[in-house]
A and B are shown apart, each in its own frame.
Chain A
Amino acid sequence: MSDSKFSKPPRSKAAKWTRRGFIGVGALAGGALIVGVAIRTGNPVGKLKPIVAGGEGEALINAWVKIGADNLVTAIVPHCEMGQGAQSTIAQMLADEMDVNWENIRVMDAPADGNYVSQHTVRTFIGPGTVPNRPNQASFMEPTYDGLFTQLGKLGDAYITGGSSSVRSTGQYGMRIAGAAARQMLVAAAAAEWGVPASEITTESTMLSHAKSGKSEAYAKFAAAAAEQDLPRAPRIKTVAEYKLMGMPAPRKDIPGKVDGTAIFGIDGGPEGQELKYAAVKAAPVVGARVESMDATVAKTMPGVLQILNMGDFVAVVADSYWQAQQALGAIETAYTKSEIDGLDSEQMFAGFTKALDEAGAKGGNTKADYGDAAGALSSAALKVEAEYKVPFLAHATMEPMNCTAWVRGGKCDIWTGSQVPLMARSGAAEGAGVSADDVTMHSVLLGGGFGRRLTAEYTNQAARIAKATGYPVRMIWSREEDTTQDFYRPADISRFSGGLDKDGKLLSWNNVHCTEDEPAEAALVEFYDIPNVSVRNAEVEMPLRLGSWRSVAHSQHGFFVESFIDELAHAAGKDPYEFRRTLLANSPRHLAVLDGAAKMAGWGSDLPEGHGRGIALARSFNSIVAEVAEVDMTGGKPRVTRMYCCVDAGFAMNPDGLTAQMESGIIYGLTAAMYDEITIKDGRVQQSNFHDYQMMRMGDAPRITVQIINGAPDNLGGAGEPGLPPAAPAVANAIFAATGQRIRELPIAKHFA
């Protein structure tokens, strides 16, 4: 590959990057500075060197910022843009620490290379104890940990966008330090050139100035010299009082392209100047089944058809256009082999859940939390309350269906697609094309929705296999039906509770057993509520389907379970549901503040029209605390959610506009599922197929949403992408109860009003 193509900035999101080419930028572009959070050569702990550095003298360089000769500063972000705006917010954090004005900031995807794994995300996920309390509070072990976690990330292909973690991990522990370090190196370079003390140099708006001598220059002038400076060991980062851009609603960098149509999504990506052919695919409809035979007699006579492929596990038609490919695919008669789950249906699975819960009984199953004496306190309780809740399997239904463009030739493979895990997407394509991962170039483009769906790589594998068979570039697009029936589903669950109250209505005992294995593990836990005796367990069940992470993961189920049951307990105790929760939050001041905030916004306790009801719910997920109040109108015979009030404490809102948008988005996504949707299985097959039977919430049905932000812990950031979702369903179910006395114990809600 010619290095010359890296001598100017990439033209689009789809521009080609490789590690070698990328590292070359500094020298080739002239006057460019590349700074990373260093993972140093010569590890201080000799034993760990083989883990940290791949070969003799090799440094793991994690370069996240570059300065161009035009004084534009590019943040190279190891997270994807799927509508959530994290790239832009992370760039904002870099700009603030580096004293770059927002207009001079550009954003790009980090190349899909092992050196760009989101080690800070990996740390936040799995080693929270190792994350320093302050971003620059680097311990002696820091380089070792960074190296270790990078290596760990590489094992799992964990260049990952998920877990509501980008801003609070990569932004907080990576990009801010990279920005502060870059600023410090620029100052050092200017100090040397001007012959003045570094302490007398100030920085503002991408400019260096020395007041006494009147000297002032752009960052670009010192970029090359700055790159020669030593990386500061622990660059000083700003205190909250010093923030200029952080905490401000800086306009998102991804919006203009999305408005003017120049943004490149997966479905638009592909080689420039190269004619593309289109593939439509249909996989065996039952997990474990394969294509036994296909009859393409009619399909091969249809307009535009180039090739028809039986790939063993799926059938593909390649044609001049997508529509022609899809029409021909529909004309193919396919027979499938038997599968072990041919007879599976969801009712049968739920019966299995019930049996597992019966067997777990009052004490069995895997213990998730156990303190006090939950069983003892229950048996001596003045009032005992029991309830069982049920939620279905769910699909992601991203607006942009799964797709990938692939071109396999000469032992190399290029793919264009949107992925939450670009390295895994690359590995999937490598396997499909029969080449090594290093021979695959992943062109990362925008995602038309993620929600956890794009954490898998089966679609890049499919596209590469088709492209390998054809030899020419092919854009594979799944139909909506394929997308709905071949998803990795949010697991269904049944959750049972028994609670014990004393004669004054004080909650003494909390017993819960449910089926799913919780991810994150804290999802079913209620330690922020002041309940002295708690037992939370899960029973193991079989779910022989393709299962995956769905926005807020296990919080999506337990938010509904826990907050519905708290509401039932409140009513059983004869207390107001908001006041009942307040009494349980004496030791959780941030939770209490958020709950109070939502109640106040909603005018809790004020009169509502006849047939209307108000419900409240509180949830903690991904280190953020969110309370929501829903108002429903039941006068039409079925629920209409008219208002949602949301109060969120995510530690500190780096971009309040972005946090607000994510709360709104989480609420709408949560309400869509809670109101309408379920994936059901019959004869091993998913029964839903498109938006007529897997509905989205339309604008006419969407409530007005108001969001209020509390910055309750500026050094302890929480996530934004997911935490708005868990309280939405229980807030609405509780509002329906308030309006009608009808308790919703099973989702979707529409089922009860058919």
Chain B
Amino acid sequence: MKPISLILLAGVAPLGLAACSSESEEPVEQIIVRQPGEAAPVLSGVANSPGTADIVAAGKAAFAACAACHSVQQDGASGSGPNLYGVAGRAAGRLNGFAYSEAMVSSGITWDSAALNAYLAAPSEVVPGTSMSAGAVTDPERRKAIIAYLASLSQ
């Protein structure tokens, strides 16, 4: 028996590491607004329309989806994608310190509004081989707003 009980002891310790502190306590406070299937109470003042704020503001909001990869700070470091401060009018694949794909470097594109619009709509079709594997913007209005926002940055 002795060796086996030693194995038992040795085994329980590592398994215990993953244990959690389970609880079965009741709610301290429970606010029941309604039951499933009941109609929602009529609310006032919570309707929020997207508004018709100017296109640059709309573009800034839409750019949030791009900001994970692209910085727009003047002189800011590039992330997974190049810094886009001043991209409007810039030649493609020319920002110092960013490792562009060969395809982008040799694309010969200059980023005017039409080029940005086409690229944002379908990056891999306009520049086959681009590293921008995500980020296509299908909604033309959103593209327009994002381009307006980018153009506004260096003005």
A307:B133 contact, CB within 8 angstroms: no
Query: CB within 8 Å of B: which of A116-171?
Result: 122, 125-127, 130, 148, 152, 155-158
Most buried by A among B10, B27, B68: B27
Per-position 1/0 for B20-38, Cβ under 8 A of A: 1111111111111111100
Q: A152-B11, A472-B36, A519-B14 are in contact. Are A433 and B27 (CB under 8 A)?
A: no
Q: In this assembly, does A311 line the interface, its C-beta being within 8 Å of a C-beta of chain B?
A: yes
From B1-9, B49-57, B137-145, the one touching the partner chain is: B1-9
- How near does chain B come to A611, taking the closest CB pair, in angstroms? 12
Q: Which residues of B contact A306 (CB under 8 A)?
A: 32-36
Main secondary structure of the interface of A (DSSP, over half): mixed
Q: A458-B21, A519-B17 are in contact. Are A294 and B77 (CB under 8 A)?
A: no
B46:A469 contact, CB within 8 angstroms: no
From A190-198, A296-304, A503-511, A526-534, the one touching the partner chain is: A296-304
Q: A296-B31, A307-B33 are in contact. Are A461 and B23 (CB under 8 A)?
A: yes
Q: Which of B20, B27, B133 contacts A699 (CB 8 A)?
A: B133
Q: In this assembly, does A291 line the interface, its C-beta being within 8 Å of a C-beta of chain B?
A: yes
Q: Which residues of A contact B69 (CB under 8 A)?
A: 698
CA distance A461 to B20 in the complex (A): 9
A640:B36 contact, CB within 8 angstroms: no
- How near does chain B come to A483, taking the closest CB pair, in angstroms? 16
Q: Which of B20, B29, B46 contacts A294 (CB 8 A)?
A: B29
- How near does chain A come to B105, taking the closest CB pair, in angstroms? 13
Name which residue of chain A comes closest to B29, CB basis.
A310
CA distance A406 to B8 in the complex (A): 34
Per-position 1/0 for A263-275, Cβ under 8 A of B: 0000000000001
Q: Which residues of B contact A294 (CB under 8 A)?
A: 29
Name which residue of chain B comes closest to A312, CB basis.
B28
B46:A303 contact, CB within 8 angstroms: yes
Name which residue of chain A comes closest to B77, CB basis.
A754
A307:B24 contact, CB within 8 angstroms: no
Q: In this assembly, does A431 line the interface, its C-beta being within 8 Å of a C-beta of chain B?
A: yes
A432:B22 contact, CB within 8 angstroms: yes
Q: Which of A633, A698, A754 contacts B99 (CB 8 A)?
A: A633
From A7-15, A421-429, A719-727, A737-745, the one touching the partner chain is: A421-429
Query: CB within 8 Å of B: which of A662-678?
Result: none
CA distance A122 to B80 in the complex (A): 43
Most buried by A among B29, B30, B33: B33
B14:A126 contact, CB within 8 angstroms: yes
B29:A309 contact, CB within 8 angstroms: yes
Q: Which of A47, A469, A549 contacts B1 (CB 8 A)?
A: A47
| A-B Cβ contacts below 8 A, count | 137
Main secondary structure of the interface of B (DSSP, over half): loop
Q: Which residues of B contact A549 (CB under 8 A)?
A: 17-18
Per-position 1/0 for B83-100, Cβ under 8 A of A: 000000000000001110
- How near does chain A come to B78, taking the closest CB pair, in angstroms? 9
Q: Which of B8, B20, B21, B36 contacts A277 (CB 8 A)?
A: B36
Q: Which residues of B contact A187 (CB under 8 A)?
A: none
Query: CB within 8 Å of B: which of A350-398?
Result: none
- How near does chain A come to B52, taking the closest CB pair, in angstroms? 22
Q: Which of A47, A156, A309, A754 contacts B27 (CB 8 A)?
A: A309
Q: In this assembly, does A475 line the interface, its C-beta being within 8 Å of a C-beta of chain B?
A: no
Q: Which residues of B contact A434 (CB under 8 A)?
A: 24
Q: In this assembly, does B113 line the interface, its C-beta being within 8 Å of a C-beta of chain A?
A: no
B8:A152 contact, CB within 8 angstroms: yes
- How near does chain B come to A420, taking the closest CB pair, in angstroms? 9
CA distance A63 to B11 in the complex (A): 24
Q: A306-B36, A312-B25 are in contact. Are A127 and B133 (CB under 8 A)?
A: no
CA distance A421 to B15 in the complex (A): 11
Name which residue of chain A comes closest to B37, CB basis.
A275
Q: Which residues of A contact B80 (CB under 8 A)?
A: 698, 700-701
- How near does chain B come to A506, taking the closest CB pair, in angstroms? 37
A127:B36 contact, CB within 8 angstroms: no
- How near does chain B come to A442, taking the closest CB pair, in angstroms? 14
Q: Which residues of B contact A296 (CB under 8 A)?
A: 31
- How near does chain B come to A225, taking the closest CB pair, in angstroms? 38
B28:A457 contact, CB within 8 angstroms: no
Q: Which residues of A contact B98 (CB under 8 A)?
A: 636
Q: Which of B10, B36, B40, B101 contacts A303 (CB 8 A)?
A: B40
B33:A308 contact, CB within 8 angstroms: yes
Q: In this assembly, does A456 line the interface, its C-beta being within 8 Å of a C-beta of chain B?
A: yes
Q: Which residues of B contact A633 (CB under 8 A)?
A: 99
Q: In this assembly, does A323 line the interface, its C-beta being within 8 Å of a C-beta of chain B?
A: no
Q: In this assembly, does A313 line the interface, its C-beta being within 8 Å of a C-beta of chain B?
A: yes
Q: Which of A127, A148, A307, A424 contacts B18 (CB 8 A)?
A: A424
CA distance A614 to B98 in the complex (A): 21
Q: A306-B34, A456-B18 are in contact. Are A313 and B12 (CB under 8 A)?
A: no
Which B residues are closer than 8 A to A by beta carbons? 1, 4, 7-8, 10-12, 14-36, 40-41, 43, 46, 67-69, 77, 80, 97-99, 101, 131-133
Per CB-CB distance, the 10 closest pairs between chain A and chain B, nearest first, are A156-B15, A700-B131, A431-B22, A126-B11, A310-B29, A308-B31, A455-B18, A310-B28, A461-B22, A458-B20
Which A residues are closer than 8 A to B by beta carbons? 47-48, 122, 125-127, 130, 148, 152, 155-158, 275, 277, 291, 294, 296, 300-313, 320, 421, 424, 427-428, 431-434, 455-458, 461, 465, 469, 472, 519, 548-549, 633, 636-637, 640, 691-692, 698-701, 754
Inter-chain pairs besides A313-B23, A313-B25, 16 sampled, C-beta below 8 Å: A301-B43, A307-B30, A307-B32, A312-B25, A312-B28, A428-B20, A431-B24, A465-B23, A472-B36, A519-B14, A519-B17, A637-B97, A692-B67, A698-B69, A700-B132, A701-B80
